[in-house]
Amino acid sequence: MARAYVLLGFTFFLMQMHITGSISKYINMKYSYLSLTAGILFAFLTLIQVIHTLRTSSNEDHDHDHDHDHDCNHTCDHGHVHKEAKGFKKLLNGIIFIFPLFTGIFLPIASLDSTIVEAKGFHFPVSEPNNHDPFMERQYLKPDLSIYYGQEGYQKLIAQESKEYINKKSIKLNDEDFLKGMEVLYDEPGKYLGKQLTFKGFIYHEKGLKNNQTFLFRFGIIHCVADSGVYGLLVNLPENQSFKNDQWIEATGTIKEMYYQPFKVNIPYIEITQTKEIDPPSNQYVYRNK
């Protein structure tokens, strides 16, 4: 029956995340149908396991009454040792399955913030050696879908998406197109120099920057939280303004380009002309919907 309870726990866990909306903290909602399908499958398996357990229990009771009449000297001692080992193995397997259920159901879900960025650091993808599995690499600063496309297909994608921004003098990125806009901007920043950009995010102060320089970030999910990263831009604040880590602001400014020594590459940045403090959004993550 323990298996049935574990399966029921996973069913409850998945359905609860969908009902409360907390599933969006783990996956790109474009793929939510997969976890919903898994929840329905777990419910079906739970029902099958309950039926199987009830039938097995009935058969074991019958077999136990039949075997009780047999001699139980050496056989019983061996059987007890075997049962103890089997029981320990079942207990260990149970802990392995129950632990993620317990943490998932009872521990609060925390949104990622600047402490994660500070602990793990961040880098610019093009400055890293290409000797690792890109599908297992967290992305930072610049969204990069090229690892999921062939080079030709990726360039077609970027060319298509850039049409949405290239002819605009003023660009505003919202939650729906934040990652798309950032990827287009980082791909060829020279095409957008002098344009006005408005976007929102949380403040992160990187060591070594000038007093008025900071990063404005959003945590983004490409497919699931395993490939999540922190994306955004370096911004130059007006001299009379300062913000603390994790403060959320909406910033407007002019797109410029600079050589950033820590990354050894040119990156776009924003010369801020206007800022507005805002409350953190109900869902602080952004997603890549292409």
- Which pLDDT score, from 0 to 100, does residue 65 have? 52
Q: Is residue 218 within 8 Å of residue 201, measured between CB atoms? A: yes
Q: What is the pLDDT of residue 251?
A: 97
Query: What is the reported pLDDT for 214?
Result: 94
**How many distinct helices (H) and strands (E) make up the chain?**
6, 8
* Full set of structural domains in the chain with CATH: 2-106 (no CATH), 114-287 (2.40.50.140)
Dihedral (Cα; 12, 14, 17, 18), 10-degree rounding: -110
Q: What is the pLDDT of residue 81?
A: 53
Q: How far apart are the first and last CA of the chain?
A: 43
pLDDT digits (tens, 9 = 90+) for 63-79: 555 555 555 555 555 55
DSSP states along 121-183: ----GGGS-S-S-GGGPPPEES---GGGS-HHHHHHHHHHHHTTTTT-SEEE--TTTHHHHHH
Name the nearest CA neighbour of 20 among 289, 283, 284. Answer: 283
Per-residue pLDDT at 121: 62
What parts of the chain have a pLDDT lower than 70?
58-88, 90-91, 93-94, 107-114, 118-139, 290
31-38 long-range contacts (CB < 8 A, ≥24 apart) are 31/223, 31/224, 38/14
Taking CA 260 as the corner, what is the angle to CA 113 and CA 232, rounded to the nearest 5 degrees?
A: 30
Tens digits of per-residue pLDDT, 145-157? 877 777 788 889 9
Tell me, what's the pLDDT at 131? 46
**Taking the model in full, what pTM does it have?**
0.71
Q: What is the pLDDT of residue 136?
A: 46
Q: Report the candidate in 252, 141, 142 with the shortest Cα–Cα distance to residue 204.
A: 141
- β-sheet bridge partners, residue 270: 235, 255
Nearest to 156, CA basis, from 166, 143, 146: 146
pLDDT at res. 128? 45
